Amino acid sequence: MPARVISGTRIRDQILAELKEGVGELSAKGVRPGLGAVLVGENPASKIYVRNKIKACDQAGIYSETIMPPQEITTGELVEIVHDLNARDDIDGILVQLPLPPQVDSGKVLRAVSPEKDVDGFHPVNVGALVTQQPGLAPCTPTGLIEILKRSDIPIAGRRAVVIGRSNIVGKPAALLLLHEHATVTICHSKTADLAAVAREADILIAAIGRPAMVTREFIKPGATVLDVGTNRVTGAAEAERILAGMPKRLERFREKGSALVGDVHPADVAEVAGAYTPVPGGVGPLTIAMLMVNTLKAARQRHAGPSSSRSAFSML
């Protein structure tokens, strides 16, 4: 039986529809959630990401504003911009688009964001809340992974989950969220001995290592659910042939464009071995932006709720 393809686009649209209702309820009380995005310099990929986030804000009824300082900005100047956004009552969430220029201390800038407005979930206060299962704002991609599993009726409790990748943005928080859902979790990385064998034990396999099509059939337990977080742009013909062989339409598009977007999981192998999987593109990616919108609504609810309402204010929608 062919593997089930899990559409992240469909799940994103479900969440955005629910989100729009939640934003409407808050707006009826005189509060319109607001997101401030800081985009430094002229990085084309970053511009696209921010543009897509602003478009999602418009769709959901969230106020958005983009601050675009020059590439030459200093750490101190960027921290001042963040402090100004922290002080503004019309801004509930602050997004600092990464990567930042090399002269900027990214850690210092991210720590300057008020935890209650930290919609990326990167501040140490929110990381601590995630570890201890307290109300807070968790990173968007990992929370999107949990939504994919739940909304696809894929059980988590009692299942063996393997996360390939240990980044602070995806790997570690994804492992914690799976643990909170009562999965038995293993985190793998570049130093893991016999990585394929460990991955093959997973009922739920999450690939977030940043290497094109590294996860091949020998990594995948037959019938497993595979969530591919990777977003890799391939431009070499030989690599494209290796990854897209047997997928003539995608290979033809590569030849026309000179590049192709692929995940960390080999697309043909996962389709043949897995029970269900997210494609690239159209899988995990759309959920990241949707969960950013969810975090912005959460932050607005929390900021305008009384202290006793903190737990309910951080409910999903």
Q: Which residues are catalytically annotated?
A: 53, 97, 120
Compute the C-alpha angle 295/299/301, nearest 5°. Answer: 115
- Using DSSP bridges, classify how beta strands 4-5 and 276-277 pair: parallel, antiparallel or unpaired: parallel
93 vs 16, 66, 121, 169, 265, CA distance in Å? 17, 12, 10, 17, 33
Tokens of 103: 């002269």
Cis check for the bond before 99: say yes or no (omega within 30 of 0): yes
Structure token pair of residue 248: 């003539």
Q: How far is CA 243 from CA 239, 263, 284, 307, in A?
A: 6, 10, 19, 52
Q: 10 Å Cβ neighbour count for 258? A: 10
CA 175 to chain centre: 14
For residue 94, list its beta bridge partners.
36, 118
Alpha-helix runs per DSSP H in 136-182: 140-151, 171-180
User: Nearest Cα to 35, choosing from 266, 234, 217, 299?
Assistant: 299
